[in-house]
Structure 1
């Protein structure tokens, strides 16, 4: 039954994905406007995050940023349905610019393992497809709460038209994470989304936009123990053509401090790098995620989303 429902969801996603790009973008704009009107969860979380991360914005400016973020978020949700249900080769034609690709190629050629750190900026699903086209890849992911949701993700993230072993999805759980160490030790490539809040005991607090955020220590541990090269990567919208989105692929070397043996310094460097990328265009960052739920022990700070 789980597989059947996942297949039905895939068919629905494919139906939406067949809409012309201008229609998808207009539909996304309508969704964003509805979120604001209904004060939906996405709208409330984005507003709280903006208040925390950009406290000095004037009210009118914050309101405009809030609308821009929701519009970009809604558009991305719909464009991702299209990316998931179209051949990857066609999707990759949307990548108009490539920056720093030689860093990845050279790191792979050294055979010492590569950790691709991909913040929730731009469209990370398109980045996954680009990476899978370039090299076999293991992607760390947090499984959805429902079995149907996980089956759906496994279906849509499969490498279309490629070797089924091209992409390995690794659950963000203790036993499964050992696969990442093994792959890096063999000179392979792994992809990690670094700005998801880890479980208690799997992270450290470090500033993110001036607010303490519980941050994963996994990136630093992988880098220290394997000696793998750490690179940041993201696909940023540049809209080079008016009738469909265009993207610029960016790859940059990570700061050495990410592999610091002191976990606090490592996660501080990680958050600083993610913040720098997010500040390039705040509307393209995932501000609808509850990044600051956990608060430092003994701080007395409440969960800012408790009212949500």
Structure 2
């Protein structure tokens, strides 16, 4: 499907209400779980690796819930990209940890926002971009016309999109040194040269070093955040938490372990809303048994 057709499909889907979009997403996610396939198997293996103490029945229930929530996330994206920013922000019914933003404004240092694949990360990005001059790291899609569409919809609130190349990384350092805000998805598997192994749910996991390097070289303040989906289409709660204090350590293994602990703590607030079908353990540390 061409980029223009995808954009048209998104515009049509954006005519749905939040509740209808989530209901359809829940249905589709449940259907995927029943049919099986790669996403289901990856989810099962991730949950077995991260929650070995749960019973098989408990992991199956969590897995099914996770696919349903992922379906909801997918159906919410056209709304987040096509609705006016004010309408999207109107879906936020509660903000937990808002007082942490006051200290950022007071000290004048940069703010590094870590937003894992939990809940609706598009809405979390809109929330912060509506308040601050913000830059977000992104990976350009293969189709040029679809990249233009993504850049247009994601930057409509004033957010600057920075590509994952050398020039883009330099730009992130510059923004943080100027006291600006940078958003990063911290739980993606990095390229070989951009990561080291650190424990995630007790498993040595390839973890990006970029977040730690940004903190070490700019003195920025790290916060971790996500938009938690409320039940019955009622909207979302923005959760803002301090990152584990070990993240600012100049010792890279300690900093990366703290980053992963920060992500784990958020996941435990809403484990069913995490993207468990992502192959987080695709690279195996020497001497370790592969998860997949």
> What band does the TM-score fall into relative to the shorter chain?
over 0.9
Q: TM-score, normalised by structure 1?
A: 0.89
How far the C-alpha of 1:215 sits from its partner, in A, is 0.4
Which of 195, 201, 224 pairs up with 2:216? 224
Question: Aligned in 2, Cα 1:185/1:301: closer, same or farther, shift over 3 Å?
Answer: same
Which of 57, 62, 70 pairs up with 2:67? 70
Mapped to 2, the partners of 1:199 and 1:68 lie a distance apart of: 30
How far the C-alpha of 1:174 sits from its partner, in A, is 2.5
Which structure 2 residue ranges, 5 or more long, are not aligned?
none
For the residue of structure 2 that corresponds to 1:286, the secondary structure is coil
Which of 125, 128, 139 pairs up with 1:128? 125
Partner in structure 1 of residue 109 of structure 2: 112
How far the C-alpha of 1:56 sits from its partner, in A, is 1.9
Question: Aligned in 2, Cα 1:251/1:22: closer, same or farther, shift over 3 Å?
Answer: closer
Matches within 5 A, 1:17-96: 17-96=14-93
Mapped to 1, the partners of 2:29 and 2:228 lie a distance apart of: 20
Do residues 193 (structure 1) and 204 (structure 2) align? no
Partner in structure 2 of residue 299 of structure 1: 287
CA contact (8 A) 2:197 2:206 kept: yes
Aligned length: 292
For the residue of structure 2 that corresponds to 1:134, the secondary structure is coil
Cα displacement string for residues 1-25 of structure 1 (whole angstroms, at most 9, x for unaligned residues): x9xx434322210111212333322
Mapped to 2, the partners of 1:65 and 1:288 lie a distance apart of: 12
CA contact (8 A) 1:6 1:151 kept: no
CA contact (8 A) 1:17 1:82 kept: yes
CA contact (8 A) 2:173 2:214 kept: yes
Do residues 234 (structure 1) and 231 (structure 2) align? no
Mapped to 1, the partners of 2:22 and 2:250 lie a distance apart of: 45
CA contact (8 A) 2:244 2:261 kept: no
CA contact (8 A) 1:131 1:137 kept: yes
How far the C-alpha of 1:248 sits from its partner, in A, is 1.1
Which of 159, 174, 178 pairs up with 1:167? 159
Which of 99, 102, 113 pairs up with 2:99? 102
Which of 248, 259, 279 pairs up with 1:259? 248
Do residues 284 (structure 1) and 276 (structure 2) align? no
Q: TM-score, normalised by structure 2?
A: 0.94
How far the C-alpha of 1:145 sits from its partner, in A, is 3.9
Mapped to 2, the partners of 1:91 and 1:107 lie a distance apart of: 24
Which structure 1 residue ranges, 5 or more long, are not aligned?
none
How far the C-alpha of 1:82 sits from its partner, in A, is 1.1
Partner in structure 1 of residue 155 of structure 2: 158
Matches within 5 A, 1:3-22: 5-22=2-19
Question: Aligned in 2, Cα 1:259/1:145: closer, same or farther, shift over 3 Å?
Answer: farther
How far the C-alpha of 1:149 sits from its partner, in A, is 4.3
How far the C-alpha of 1:48 sits from its partner, in A, is 1.5
For the residue of structure 2 that corresponds to 1:201, the secondary structure is helix
Cα displacement string for residues 240-287 of structure 1 (whole angstroms, at most 9, x for unaligned residues): xx3x24211121222331021111110000001100110112101111
Question: Aligned in 2, Cα 1:223/1:91: closer, same or farther, shift over 3 Å?
Answer: same
State the superposition RMSD in angstroms.
1.8
How far the C-alpha of 1:109 sits from its partner, in A, is 4.0
